[in-house]
Amino acid sequence: MNRDASAARRYHEATKHSVARLRAHQHYLDWDIKPLPFKVYPRLQPIALPREFPSSSMPALAALAVRSVRGGDGPRIPDLSQLARLLHFSAGITHKKTYPGGEEYHFRAAACTGALYHIDVYVICGDLPELAAGVYHFGPHNFALHQLRAGDHRAVLVDASGGDASLPHAPIILACASTYWRNAWKYQARAYRHCFWDSGTLLANLLAIAAAEVIPASVMCGFADETVRALLGLDAEREGPLALVAIGHDPGSAPAPRSPVAPILLQTLPLSTQEVDYPAIREAQAASALAVDDVAAWRSGLLPDTQGPPPAGRVFPLRPLDAAALPGETIDHVIARRGSARQFPHAAISFAQLSTVLHCTTRGVVSDWGGSPNDLYLIVNAVDDLPPGTYVFHRDRQVLELLRAGDFRRDAGFLGLGQELPADASVNFYWLCDLEPVLSRLGNRGYRVAQLDAAIAGGKVYLAAYALGLGATGLTFFDDDVTAFFSPHAAGKSVMFLVAIGRRKRARPQMV
């Protein structure tokens, strides 16, 4: 089914936001059935993770600028403390807030739409220092691992990925999966896009922490869905695997040949008294699924790392901050205090700050899909030494091309679903993709790739903004209106992700 890319096109069209659709199909939240934000296995004994681990010394912006870590000829095998650190700063709880009435919210390390946290992380590993080989679920609620299977099952994922070169010698493989209802409660069928948005921001954190620890990490979208689902014990009606990440490097060992995977029948706590089904999510996941025999051929369709046409308008070369002027705050500290901005004052950021964000976050990631399929467009509202207007970023030339000069605050607010935040922000970042060539090469799976690639980049922008003392927030948008606004340059492209940045006006959260 993956090769018939009409399914991705249908899903994308059916879940577009427009003024007319939102007025015609108003959605009201049923607070009585709001889902539990955690996946809890009540009968599994938790394996506590160490809560104290050494902080990295690498500045956050340096970690974000790392595209890949070379493992060298020697092993790079994370111990339990390093694994705990990776999990805490990507999917762990970093702060909490108690609202009037006593309800307590636990906020995670990575940004997530609606703070609904529907992405679960699983650990598949060989024997590690202080941790036996097994398949584990990471529980943020108790900061512990819960063993789903004993033994080394990495070979199952090696086979599922068509023999991807990064997996056989990875001592740890992390898997991201979504429990759809935990996000669909608020966002309905559009939650399938959020699967990749929210796993992408999580992976941006993970990759930055791995870089700071000098641990190799690579991201994979190419795998046999049913094999991964069975290994993790996911409910095909309610959950779906999204991405794999190879962590570390051990050239001297490889997983043993795979053995049959028995079904997992483990009880989890109900998410709510009632769940509303959105078949479009399952249909999009199923239409983009790969079988074991399909994966190697799918990966041969790698996206080229091509650049767009040369600039036709006025260009502004980036002027990032000098190394001596870069903030020295580590990635750990930046993630620990990161939030989502709820208000931006109408104040300018510097062109050096914007340049630094772009310079550090647009180098791509090590992945199995090749080059980035997305183009980055900006609405600049307030940046010193840069005219207000709309821009496209040329990554190969490290320049911004001015498309239209003018004050577009009001347009930015409308495009961001009529909200004040994008109108008040200094800069809005839009990732747009020409889906046709991507779907032609990668089938429906290319839709997953385009969304995830944009979200990882957006997650990095999020962190870079906070590293510079700024604020950031992710937003949703009116799809076709964004394309029309950036056209004719963006004609035919589709919006994947939106992040707004600006000066902060927000109290720090309570730390735990």
Co-location of 354 and 247 in the same domain: no
Domain stops at, among 219, 239, 262:
262
φ, ψ of residue 29 in degrees (nearest 5): -75, 130
| Structural domain includes residue 461 | yes
Q: H/E element holding 7? A: helix 6-14
Co-location of 329 and 403 in the same domain: yes
Question: Using CB atoms within 10 A of its CB, is residue 252 exposed (0-12), middle (13-18) or buried (19+)?
Answer: exposed
Q: What is the pLDDT of residue 166?
A: 81
Q: What is the pLDDT of residue 164?
A: 82
- Chain mean position to CA 503: 23
| Structural domain includes residue 281 | no
Write the pLDDT tens digit of every residue in 217-266. Answer: 999 999 999 999 999 999 999 999 999 999 999 988 777 777 778 899 89
Domain stops at, among 245, 262, 279:
262
Q: What is the pLDDT of residue 509?
A: 44
Pairing state between β 104-108 and 399-405: unpaired
From first CA to last CA, the distance across the chain in angstroms is: 46
Q: Which two tokens stand for residue 109?
A: 């390390």
| Structural domain includes residue 154 | yes
CATH classification at residue 411: 3.40.109.10
| Structural domain includes residue 231 | yes
Classified as helix, coil or strand, 500 is strand
d(CA 143, CA 240): 23
Co-location of 250 and 340 in the same domain: no
| Structural domain includes residue 330 | yes
Q: What is the pLDDT of residue 305?
A: 83
CA distances (Å), origin 281, targets 91, 181, 200, 237: 23, 10, 18, 10
Question: What's the sign of the alpha-carbon dihedral 246, 248, 250, 255?
Answer: negative
CA-closest candidate to residue 138, choices 175, 104, 167: 175
| Structural domain includes residue 97 | yes
- CA torsion 82→372→194→248, rounded to 10°? -20
Q: 352 and 319 in contact (C-beta within 8 Å)?
A: yes
Co-location of 335 and 205 in the same domain: no
Co-location of 257 and 331 in the same domain: no
pTM listed for this prediction: 0.96
For residue 131, what are the β-bridge partners? 128
Q: What is the pLDDT of residue 116?
A: 95
Co-location of 66 and 212 in the same domain: yes
Co-location of 238 and 320 in the same domain: no
Domain residue limits at 380: 315-511
Q: 37 and 309 in contact (C-beta within 8 Å)?
A: no
d(CA 71, CA 250): 9
Task: Collect the ranges in the chain with pLDDT lower than 50.
Answer: 507-512
Co-location of 143 and 231 in the same domain: yes
φ, ψ of residue 381 in degrees (nearest 5): -95, -40
Q: What is the pLDDT of residue 510?
A: 41
Co-location of 330 and 241 in the same domain: no
Q: Which two tokens stand for residue 438?
A: 């991507």
Q: Which two tokens stand for residue 427?
A: 């800069």
| Structural domain includes residue 291 | no
Co-location of 236 and 335 in the same domain: no
CA-closest candidate to residue 144, choices 93, 91, 84: 84
Co-location of 231 and 357 in the same domain: no
For residue 367, what are the β-bridge partners? 219
Co-location of 258 and 385 in the same domain: no
d(CA 285, CA 242): 9
Write the pLDDT tens digit of every residue in 104-160. Answer: 788 999 999 999 999 999 999 999 999 999 999 999 999 999 999 999 999 999 999
Domain stops at, among 233, 262, 291:
262
Q: 127 and 121 in contact (C-beta within 8 Å)?
A: no
User: What is the number of structural domains in the chain?
Assistant: 2
CA-atom Rg of the chain in angstroms: 22
| Structural domain includes residue 6 | no
d(CA 156, CA 177): 17
Q: What is the pLDDT of residue 496?
A: 98
Q: Which two tokens stand for residue 157?
A: 């994922």
